[in-house]
Amino acid sequence: MVVEGEEAPNFTLKSDERRDISLSDYRGKNVVLYFYPKDGTPGCTNEAKAFRDAIKDFEKENAVILGVSKDSVESHQKFKRKHNLPFTLLSDPEGEVLSLYSVWKQKSMFGKTFMGIERTTFLLDEQGVVRKIYRKVRVKGHAQACLLNLTQT
């Protein structure tokens, strides 16, 4: 399990640009690593748009934003284009990184249980250490909370 104060586990996934991206590529930058359930759903769209709208403020804090879901590269490309997202989306179709970060959980909706991504954000410092974990994220105000946390470190 990933915990605050420890180095974030490295991984490599395909990006929306079809390139292999490793978390370690971003050493020297703060990283907002956010896991979300599905491209195009209302909550995920609102979360992505909130990060998009605050991108200049994140850049002032030397931060990059990486979104991760099980969606395909093609799905990420459409989602990114449709909403003008200026940050990288990573595809984890096998769920290996989702498991590594313990965000693949049993969930329930309308009395049915299923496995899915628990909306979670990890804030990493420039050395790759986990400084803050937000689990069971509520979308409204979340991007601003992440930004506030970055400005205080």
Nearest Cα to 33, choosing from 146, 111, 141?
A: 146
Does the active-site annotation cover 44?
yes
CA distance 136 to 60: 27
Looking from the CA of 134 toward its CB, the CA atoms found within 13 Å total 22
**Which is the catalytic residue, given 21, 44, 63, 90?**
44
The pair of three-digit structure tokens given for residue 105, joined into one six-digit string: 């959980």
CA 113 to chain centre: 24
Active site members: 44
